[in-house]
Amino acid sequence: MRTYQNLDITVYEALDYRRGKFQGVATCQYDDTLESIVDRIVEAGVHRLVIVEDERVLGIVSLSDLLRFLIAEPEVMEIIS
């Protein structure tokens, strides 16, 4: 049974369950393309990536950020395509 379907477990049990599957923080470089960022999010199975440059954290990009940009700024996508 998936953890999110079993609401009777404790927070500790949920975290312990994930601990075995945790592969570290998913990151991207500040100059990665949108396509590579989307690919990385899908590959890592996460909703956000930590943006880094030379091992220094610059920020976080989320699926919501990407969708907001693609929907709100379609003309930018046309220009860069």
- What structural domains does the chain harbor? 24-80 (3.10.580.10)
> In whole angstroms, what separates CA 3 from the centre of its chain?
20
Tell me the range of 3-7, 10-14, 26-30 where mean pLDDT is highest.
Answer: 26-30
pTM: 0.65
Region class of 2: left (phi > 0), else alpha (psi between -120 and 50), else beta: beta
Q: Which residue has the higher pLDDT, 5 or 27?
A: 27
